Amino acid sequence: MSDFFISGFSESGMSPLSQPSPLEVRGSRLVQLAQLELARFEFGLQDRVQGKSTQVARDLEVAVQRAGRLSHPRAKQRAHAYTPVEGREHCPHCWVFVGQKHALHIVPGVYADTASCGECSSQYQLAAS
């Protein structure tokens, strides 16, 4: 018996862990991307306060024009609550920045699928399905 297993369990009695399905991997990647969009949102706020004209600061300006106003607590809440639904995946950027669910168009690839948003033009690399 190896030290890895909790005492009382034997390796022979353990069932092998199943590999996640490609759709589970895609969903997990989209959740990670929502957290990345939250970080971008926070950097954009900081850049705006410092008067920097970075891409993410410009993204925030566009988001303000689309939504009217932005709220860091709401963006944080949306990022943590982002839940992609199979076949109806929505854009992490649009959801975190302005709270709108715009469908992602997913194009299968050989090594990785590409998801793109028709509203904000964001593109994401996902695991191949």
Q: Which tops the pLDDT comparison, 70 or 45?
A: 45
Amino acid occupying residue 75: A
Show Cβ contacts of residue 122 under 8 Å, excluding neighbours closer than 6 positions. Answer: 91, 92, 93, 94, 116
Predicted TM-score of the model (pTM): 0.80
Q: Does residue 41 surpass a pLDDT of 60? A: yes
Q: Per residue in 20-30, pLDDT tens?
A: 888 888 899 99
Strands 104-107 and 123-127: unpaired
Fill in the amino acid letter for 15: S
What is the mean pLDDT of the segment spanning 66-90? 92
pLDDT on residue 37? 97
Cα–Cα distance for residue pair 124/104, rounded to 1 Å: 9
Q: Where are the domains of the chain?
A: 20-127
Q: How far apart are CA 26 and CA 30, in angstroms?
A: 6
pLDDT at site 129: 58
How far apart are alpha carbons 123 and 129 in whole angstroms? 17
Residue 102: pLDDT band with limits 50, 70, 90: very high
- pLDDT tens digits, residue range 3-22? 444 444 455 555 567 888 88
